Amino acid sequence: GGSKGDVPEDANAHCPGTQSEEAGKADSCAGCPNQQICATAPKGPDPDLVAIAERMATVKHKILVLSGKGGVGKSTFSAQLSFALAEMDHQVGLLDIDICGPSIPKMLGLEGQDIHQSNLGWSPIYVESNLGVMSIGFMLPNPDDAVIWRGPRKNGLIKQFLKDVDWGEIDYLVVDAPPGTSDEHISIVQYLQATEVDGAIIVTTPQQVSLIDVRKEINFCKKVGVPVLGVVENMSGLRQAFTDLKFVKPGLAGEIDATEWAMNYIKEKAPELLSVVACSEVFDSSKGGAEKMCHEMGVPFLGKVPMDPQLCKAAEEGRSCFADQRCSASAPALKSIIDKLIKTK
């Protein structure tokens, strides 16, 4: 193959490379399945990468939040990480590049907001004066509309977010990526390659079916040169205040709500139970969970966050779990992880 640019896997022998001026025109290109594409594609470095580097020059730290599977709480973690950094008086931006499943507007309480443009570019939507958000969710006329896009169009929007959003001078840009290792991940790494990404946080749940894909995510980061800042084990057991539990009596006709009866009985017979926190293992972690996997793969383990119904409620309502004492099971765990992350960086 040639020494200039990339050489496709199915290219002919002596391929000059896709970025060469001879691409698609050299004698060795005859009969190659890529000949027409190479001949018409623009050559040389992408000029937009210069614009992205200039825009990102005002961002001190860039953190990707990744997951191997969907539904592990990645966006919830991204949202609460952004809330926490903002509450530490940092200037924070949260960029949602989950093009087909943008949940960040909901989790930040920003549904129904519209993007505004100025001579400086697209303006983020602000939760607080030091927490700005950008998502395709702000661009959909109807929140129920499906985004049915192929890779190139997704990549184009990600590039536009990085090139045109006016974040200003900020301390942290948190990038919430879709699950897996698809076009969006390759694009964000490629577009930010010259801007020094701090690294990636990978979110998982404890069971093996999730950890299998997290290993792939870690290997992806290693291959593309993105440091793994650490792995977070989310939904690590259920923790719930005893007073928040509901009780049912099973019967032939179905279940009967017995919560009021049970609580009255406990108040009378065992009131000390009312201050107890109920714990349960929801997912199988008998194989050691994320902590063991991190030890095996040589990446940092940041900590565990229990499954907390109050945290789920905070996400649904678009608010910080650190603003009050309701998320007593999850907020301290998240705070410990974020403190560890800040100390590391």
Consult the annotation and say whether 71 binds a ligand.
Answer: yes
How many angstroms from the chain centroid is the CA of residue 22?
40
* Dist CA 95 CA 103 (whole Å): 11
Consult the annotation and say whether 4 binds a ligand.
Answer: no
Consult the annotation and say whether 69 binds a ligand.
Answer: yes
Task: Please list, in sequence order, all residues whose beta carbon lies within 8 angstroms of the beta carbon of residue 342, skipping any fewer than 6 positions away.
Answer: 88
Consult the annotation and say whether 5 binds a ligand.
Answer: no
Consult the annotation and say whether 38 binds a ligand.
Answer: yes
Q: Taking every pair of C-alpha atoms in the chain, what is the biggest distance, in angstroms?
A: 91
Tokens of 90: 């940092």
Backbone angles phi, psi at 116, to 5 degrees: -115, 150
Consult the annotation and say whether 74 binds a ligand.
Answer: yes
Beta bridge partners of 289: none
Consult the annotation and say whether 70 binds a ligand.
Answer: yes
* Dist CA 100 CA 47 (whole Å): 27
Binding-site residues for ATP, in ranges, read 68-75
Enumerate the known binding-site residues for [4Fe-4S] cluster.
15, 29, 32, 38
Binding site residues, as ranges?
15, 29, 32, 38, 68-75
